[in-house]
């Protein structure tokens, strides 16, 4: 019997650090000995840049624009430590239909059975932040990814996006689609950031897989066109990504989340806004809020 | 640059609704815009051999008729309603949801909607047949693959049972007669044929597909993806015989090839062939003077047809009737991956005769080339309704064989095998003799 390929989709608000996290995850998994493909599902096609020395690669849809038939291996490029990099690409901003582009690119790979041929252990889809139309939901439909992780900071808008994503997952979870593995908490530096995310995951019946602090090491690595795993393998930040990779490698059971409705979410955010204000005014000491 | 294609000779992938419709008591449910069903079906049926009506005809195919609202908000709810109501009001056995361009661009998750009907009591499956995926021949393959993937279950193999896959229903107005003749030929050599289209077949013969000891695909390229999937899913081997057999040369070769693949003794096959050839040549001898003395027919002919008929008819006219092939035009929008193998088939006539072949869907360009060709007499033109006017202009002999065949009523007529070749000769020479009077 063919081995099981773990297919994961990473979602989250635009600019929250999905590609950074995904690329470091891919790099760390490959260093742990796994065969990994990172599939960028964003028309900007920059998901895999830091795995390839900052270089852009020809995308599935660019190739499809030139030729009628695209062979999958024409658009697979090896990056750091043998990670296979693919970018779906898309139309120019403001024209065409990017959602259909994602459907076409993902189906092209599915039909050609590339994952089996490459003997992959992991396929990681790095998906555009906003699930604006049906096409962007394709990676979490039945038969594509099984586990979704969402990258979020403690900012309200990022959690709002995560909550929306949970709604999408809940819809597909009844029909064999992907389930939620958990939240990758990113840029958690402020003392209250962790508390906010912890509170959010508790209310939405999920968990935090890893807390990743904002770090200048990441910026330094990315300026070199590299992942932190490649540029600063011994840094504390690389250790966090390695720990994330190991948790994801061991992760087996994802669940259907329980997203908040808009009213609940607003009230919840308002509660936190009041609390944060009271910290700033010194009415409540940060250390004292542990029981909130 | 995109050219305008004059004279369509196929429709888009959603035309595969006619594949579904050719399965008894099956109904396609269209998840498409208003008009797709009627327009495509008209071209494939009423405008093609007088087909189209029947128990569940295209006039009543359920359609979600999606419009701007479903484009913006997604059409899944509308599709669900359409399926629910189709199940209530249409007394059918098998429901196949087919998606058109709009629903696939929007990205409706049709699989999820269809899955929610798993306990509907009747099978509901789906195929993604957006027009931008290709033409109705590709659509046909997508529908058959959907049946294989979503409906069929493994079963124990029945010795000598053979699934026959040949020309595409509705697209080929002769599809029914072809299947009947092929079944008959296959039975005569001791195999048990199984086909799924036409009356008295339906789900009960679909259920038998996985039981076959092999699949027999008689087609230059359409259907290859289906027999490959059947091999992959059920381990059923397949024999790909690319030429629809017309006349003694091709049919003899066909029967010998099938018999060898199916483990049938040569003595049985040779006896069948001899019986048919005796009968066939009796008529040829009887009409020999007519063939030889009718000088108004040019010795060169042209086919403007889908790859099935361009190949099958030209093989017969060259190998059995001694005519010479001028350039042959294949107009079925054949995918790039098959062009080489199919064009090679036009190089293998008897006596080392070869034909130039051009793959083109542009009727105007094809007809322009025919106008410039010298056929050394009244050309024999075998094409679609579009060639009728051209034939008049060129004082040619014309017979419609390839979609759209709007000038003929075709019920169970077929040009397959020995009997079929006699019918083709009757049809050709009836035209030729008429012009000679």
Beta strands in A98-160 (DSSP E): 122-127, 147-152
Q: Using CA atoms, how far apart are residues B180 and B198, in angstroms rounded to an integer?
A: 10
Which residue, B418, B66, B75, B71, is CA-closest to B277?
B418
Burial class (CB in 10 A: 0-12, 13-18, 19+), B329: buried
Do A103 and B104 make contact, defined as CB atoms within 8 angstroms?
yes
A194, A196, A200, A203: CA torsion to nearest 10: 110
What domains lie within chain A, and their CATH numbers? 6-259 (3.40.50.300)
Confidence of residue A71 (pLDDT cuts 50, 70, 90): confident
Q: Do A126 and A42 form a contact (C-beta atoms < 8 A)?
A: yes
Nearest C-alpha neighbor of A98 from the set A48, A66, A137: A137
pLDDT of res. B3 = 64
Select from A116, A179, A114, A186 the least CA-distant residue to A142: A179
**pLDDT digits over B111-124, tens only?**
999 999 999 999 99
- Residue B1: predicted pLDDT: 42
Residue B303 backbone dihedrals phi, psi, to 5 degrees: -110, 140
Q: Which two tokens stand for residue A172?
A: 């597909």
The answer to whether B313 touches B249, Cβ cutoff 8 Å, is no
- pLDDT, position A131: 67
Does A134 sit within 8 Å of B74, measured CB to CB? yes
Say how far apart CA A227 and CA A48 lie, in whole Å. 10
Domain boundaries, chain B: 13-150, 287-436
Strand A77-78 and strand B214-218: the pairing is unpaired
- Helices B307-319 and B417-436 cross at an angle (nearest 10°) of 80
Instruction: Return d(Cα B327, Cα B369) in angstroms, integer.
Output: 9
Does the structure show a pLDDT above 50 at B406?
yes
Helix (H, G, I), strand (E, B) or coil at A87: strand
- SS3 category, A78: strand
Q: Which residues pair with A120 in a beta bridge?
A: none
Q: CA-CA distances (angstroms) from residue B12 to A129, B171, B332, B333?
A: 35, 11, 11, 11
Q: Is any Cβ of chain A less than 8 angstroms from the Cβ of B107? A: yes
Interface with A, mutate which of B103, B110, B112 (most A CBs under 10 A): B112
Q: Domain B287-436: which topology?
A: Rossmann fold (3.40.50)
- Tell me if B336 and A175 make a contact (CB, 8 A cut-off): no
Mean pLDDT to the nearest integer, A250-254: 92
Tens of pLDDT, residue by residue over B387-400, are 999 999 999 999 99
- More confident call, B383 vs B294: B383
End-to-end CA distance of chain A: 50
Which of the residues of A are catalytic? 13, 18, 44, 130
Q: Is the pLDDT score of A33 beyond 60?
A: yes
Question: Residue A66 CB: number of other CB atoms within 10 A?
Answer: 9
**Residue located via tokens 């399926």:** B83
Closest CA to B184 of B196, B193, B174, B195: B193
| pLDDT band of A65, cuts 50, 70, 90 | confident
- Statement: residue B27 has pLDDT above 80: yes
The model's confidence at residue A292, banded by pLDDT at 50, 70 and 90, is: very low
Say yes or no for a CB contact (<8 Å) between A141 and B74. no
Calculate mean pLDDT across residues B71-84. 94
User: Mean per-residue pLDDT for B343-359?
Assistant: 96
CB B335 within 8 A of CB B221: yes
Taking contacts as CB-CB distances below 8 angstroms, the residues of chain A near B111 are 141-143, 175
Confirm whether B13-150 and B287-436 share one CATH topology: yes
Strands B397-400, A36-41: pairing is: unpaired
Q: Do the beta carbons of residue A37 and residue A123 sit within 8 Å? A: yes
Residues of A in contact with B105 (CB under 8 A): 97, 99-100
pLDDT tier at A285 (50, 70, 90 boundaries)?
A: low
Q: How far is residue B211 CA from its own chain's centroid?
A: 24
Sign of the Cα torsion B228, B232, B234, B237 reads positive
Residue A291: the pLDDT is: 41
A84-93, B169-178, B384-393: the lowest-pLDDT one: A84-93
Q: Residue A150 in 3-state DSSP?
A: strand
Select from B243, B253, B248, B315 the least CA-distant residue to B275: B248
Give how far B335 is from chain A: nearest CA, Å.
10
Query: pLDDT digit string (tens) for A188-203?
Result: 888 889 999 999 999 9
Which of chain B's residues have a Cβ under 8 Å away from the Cβ of A132? none
For the domain B13-150, what is the CATH superfamily, name and number? Nitrogenase molybdenum iron protein domain (3.40.50.1980)
Taking alpha carbons only, the member of A219, A243, A244, A246 closest to residue A231 is A219
Asked if the Cβ–Cβ distance from B336 to A68 is below 8 Å, we say: yes
**Which DSSP category does A255 fall into?**
B
Which pair of tokens denotes residue B138?
A: 């590709």
Alpha-carbon torsion (B15, B115, A140, B71), positive or negative:
positive
The residue-averaged pLDDT of A222-228 equals: 95
Q: Are the C-beta atoms of residues A63 and A101 closer than 8 Å to each other?
A: no
The fraction of chain B above a pLDDT of 90, given in percent, is: 92
Single out the residue of A255, A198, A241 nearest to residue A25, CA to CA: A241
Angle at the Cα of B16 from the Cα atoms of B12 and B17, rounded to 5 degrees: 115
Complex ipTM value: 0.71
d(CA A93, CA A75): 21
Q: How far apart are the first and last CA of chain B?
A: 48
**Cβ of B132: how many Cβ atoms within 10 Å?**
12
pLDDT tens per residue, range B178-204: 999 999 999 999 999 999 999 999 999
- Distance, in angstroms, between A135 CA and closest chain B CA? 5
Summary mean pLDDT of chain A: 88
Can you say whether the dihedral through the CA atoms of B329, B362, B244, B433 is positive or negative? Answer: negative
**Between chains, do A99 and B107 touch, taking CB under 8 Å as contact?**
yes
3-state secondary structure chain B: CCCCCCCCCCCEHHHHHHHHHCECCEEEEEECCCCHHHHHHHHHCCCCCCCCCCCCCHHHCCECCCCHHHHHHCCHHHHHHHHHHHHHHCCCCEEEEEECHHHHHHCCCHHHHHHCCCCCCCCEEEEECCHHHCEHHHHHHHHHHHHHHHCCCCCCCCCCEEEEECCCECCECCHHHHHHHHHHHHHHCCCEEECCCECCCCHHHHCCHHHCCEEEEECCCCCHHHHHHHHHHHCCCEEEECCCCEHHHHHHHHHHHHHHHHCCCHHHHHHHHHHHHHHHHHHHHHHHHHHHHCCCEEEEEEEEECHHHHHHHHHHHHHCCCCEECCEEECCCCCHHHHHHHHHHCCCCHHHCCCCEEECCCHHHHHHHHHCCCCCCEEEEEECCHHHHHHHHCCCEEEECCCCCCCCCCCCCCCCHHHHHHHHHHHHHHHHHHHHC
Name the nearest CA neighbour of B63 among B87, B98, B18, B94: B98
**B108 touching chain A per CB within 8 A:** yes
Q: In angstroms, what CA-CA distances link A198 with A148, A203, B21? A: 18, 9, 56
Q: Measured between CB atoms, which of B105, B111, B337 is closest to A141?
A: B111
Q: What is the pLDDT of residue B179?
A: 98
Of the candidates B105, B106, B115, which has its C-beta nearest A175's C-beta?
Answer: B115
Question: In this structure, what is the dihedral angle of CA atoms B2, B107, B129, B365, given to the nearest 10 degrees?
Answer: 0
Task: Taking residues B396-422, report their average pLDDT.
Answer: 97
The predicted pLDDT at position A284 comes to: 61
């Amino acid at each position: 019997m063919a081995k099981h390929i773990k297919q994961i989709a990473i979602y989250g608000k635009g600019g929250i650090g999905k590609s950074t996290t995904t690329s470091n995850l891919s790099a760390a998994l490959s260093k742990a000995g796994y065969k990994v493909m990172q599939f960028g599902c964003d028309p900007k096609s920059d998901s895999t840049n830091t795995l390839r020395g900052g270089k852009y690669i020809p995308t599935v849809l660019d190739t499809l624009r030139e030729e009628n038939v695209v062979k999958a291996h024409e658009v697979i490029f090896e990056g750091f430590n043998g990670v296979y990099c693919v970018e779906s690409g898309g139309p120019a901003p403001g024209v065409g239909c990017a959602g259909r582009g994602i459907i076409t690119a993902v189906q092209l790979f599915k039909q050609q059975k590339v994952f089996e041929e490459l003997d992959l252990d992991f396929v990681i889809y790095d998906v555009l932040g906003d699930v604006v139309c049906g096409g962007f939901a394709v990676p979490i439909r039945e038969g594509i990814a099984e586990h979704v992780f969402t990258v979020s900071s403690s900012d309200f808008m990022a959690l709002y996006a995560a909550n929306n994503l949970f709604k999408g997952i809940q819809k597909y979870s009844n029909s064999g689609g992907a389930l939620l593995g958990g939240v990758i908490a990113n840029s958690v530096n402020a003392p209250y950031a962790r508390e906010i995310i912890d509170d959010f995951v508790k209310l939405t019946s999920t968990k935090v897989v890893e807390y990743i602090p904002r770090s200048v090491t990441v910026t330094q690595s990315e300026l070199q066109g590299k992942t932190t795993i490649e540029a600063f393998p011994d840094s504390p930040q690389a250790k966090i990504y390695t720990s994330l990779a190991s948790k994801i490698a061991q992760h087996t059971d994802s669940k259907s989340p329980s997203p908040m409705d808009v009213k609940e979410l607003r009230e919840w955010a308002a509660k936190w806004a009041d609390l944060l204000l009271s910290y700033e005014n010194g009415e409540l000491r940060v250390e004292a809020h542990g029981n909130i | 640059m995109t050219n305008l294609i004059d004279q369509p000779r196929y429709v888009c992938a959603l035309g595969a609704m006619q594949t579904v419709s050719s399965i008894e008591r099956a109904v396609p449910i269209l998840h498409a815009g208003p008009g797709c069903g009627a327009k495509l079906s008209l071209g494939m049926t009423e405008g093609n051999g007088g087909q189209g009506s029947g128990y569940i005809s295209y006039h009543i195919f359920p359609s979600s008729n999606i419009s701007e609202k479903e484009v913006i908000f997604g059409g899944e709810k509308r599709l669900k309603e359409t399926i629910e109501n189709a199940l209530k009001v249409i007394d059918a056995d098998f429901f196949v949801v087919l998606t058109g361009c709009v629903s696939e661009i929007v990205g409706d998750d049709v699989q999820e909607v269809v899955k929610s009907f798993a306990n509907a009591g009747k099978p509901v499956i789906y195929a993604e047949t957006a027009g931008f995926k290709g033409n109705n021949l590709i659509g046909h393959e997508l529908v058959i693959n959907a049946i294989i993937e979503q409906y069929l279950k493994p079963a124990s193999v029945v010795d000598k049972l053979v699934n026959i896959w040949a020309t595409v229903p509705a697209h080929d107005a002769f599809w029914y007669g072809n299947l009947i003749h092929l079944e008959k030929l296959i039975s005569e050599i001791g195999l048990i044929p199984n086909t799924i289209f036409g009356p008295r077949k339906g789900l009960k013969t679909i259920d038998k597909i996985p039981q076959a000891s092999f699949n027999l695909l008689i087609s230059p390229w359409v259907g290859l993806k289906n027999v490959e999937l059947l091999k992959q899913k059920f381990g059923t081997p397949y024999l790909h015989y690319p030429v629809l057999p017309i006349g003694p040369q091709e049919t003899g070769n066909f029967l010998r090839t099938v018999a060898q693949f199916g483990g049938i003794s040569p003595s049985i096959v040779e006896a069948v062939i001899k019986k048919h050839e005796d009968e066939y040549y009796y008529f040829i001898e009887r009409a020999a003077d007519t063939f030889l003395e009718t000088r108004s027919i040019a010795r060169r002919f042209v086919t403007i047809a889908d790859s099935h008929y361009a190949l099958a008819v030209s093989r017969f006219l060259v190998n059995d009737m001694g005519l010479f092939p001028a350039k042959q035009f294949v107009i079925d929008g054949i995918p790039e991956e098959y062009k080489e193998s199919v064009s090679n088939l036009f190089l293998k006539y008897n006596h080392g005769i070869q034909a130039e072949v051009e793959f083109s869907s542009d009727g105007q360009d094809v007809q322009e080339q025919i106008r410039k060709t010298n056929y050394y007499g009244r050309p024999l033109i075998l094409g679609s309704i579009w060639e009728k006017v051209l034939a008049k202009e060129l004082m040619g002999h014309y017979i419609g064989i390839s979609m759209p065949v709007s000038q003929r009523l075709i019920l169970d007529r077929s040009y397959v095998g020995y009997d079929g070749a006699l019918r083709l000769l009757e049809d050709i020479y009836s035209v030729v003799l008429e012009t000679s009077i």
